[in-house]
Amino acid sequence: METSKLIESAAKAVENSPDMISLLFILALAVFLGFELIAKVPSTLHTPLMSGANAISGITIVGAIMVLNNAGTNQTAQILGAAALGFAAVNVVGGYLVTDRMLGMFSKKAKKPEDKA
C-alpha cells in the first residue's frame, strides 16, 4: 500500500515536471564538465576561482525570485522568499565584484629584462 502510493506520487511528480530523470542527467553531466574545466585552472587563480564560483552559487537568487512569485498571499512564504533573495543578492553582487577587483590586480610583466639584451 505504502509503496504503491509512493510510486504513484513519484509518477505524478515526473508527469508534472520537466522530467526528473533528465534533470538528474543534467546534474551528472554538469558535475563531470565541472571537474574537467576546473582541473585546468592554474593554482595562481585559485582564490579568484573560489570567489567566482561562490558568486555563481548565488544562482539561488533565481530560485528565490520564483519562490517569491509563487508565494501569493502567504505572508510567511513571502518573508522567507524575500530574505532568501537578500542573502542571494549579497552573494551574487559581492562575489562578482570582489572577483573582478582581484583579477584586475593580476598583471603581466611589463618588460622582460632579457628582451633588452
Q: Segment 41-100, which members bind another protein (CB under 8 A)?
A: 41-72, 74, 76-78, 80-100
Site membership for another protein, residue 7 (CB under 8 A): no
Minimum CB distance to another protein, residue 28 (Å): 8
Site membership for another protein, residue 12 (CB under 8 A): yes
Minimum CB distance to another protein, residue 98 (Å): 4
CA distance 22 to 17: 10
Task: For 65-100, give the DSSP string.
Answer: HHHHHHTTT-HHHHHHHHHHHHHHHIIIIIHHHHHH
Which residues between 18 and 37 bind another protein (CB under 8 A)? Answer: 18, 20, 23, 26-27, 30-31, 33-35, 37
CA distance 25 to 40: 24
Minimum CB distance to another protein, residue 112 (Å): 8
| Side-chain-facing half-sphere of 86: CA atoms under 13 Å | 6
Minimum CB distance to another protein, residue 21 (Å): 11
57, 91 Cβ separation under 8 angstroms: yes
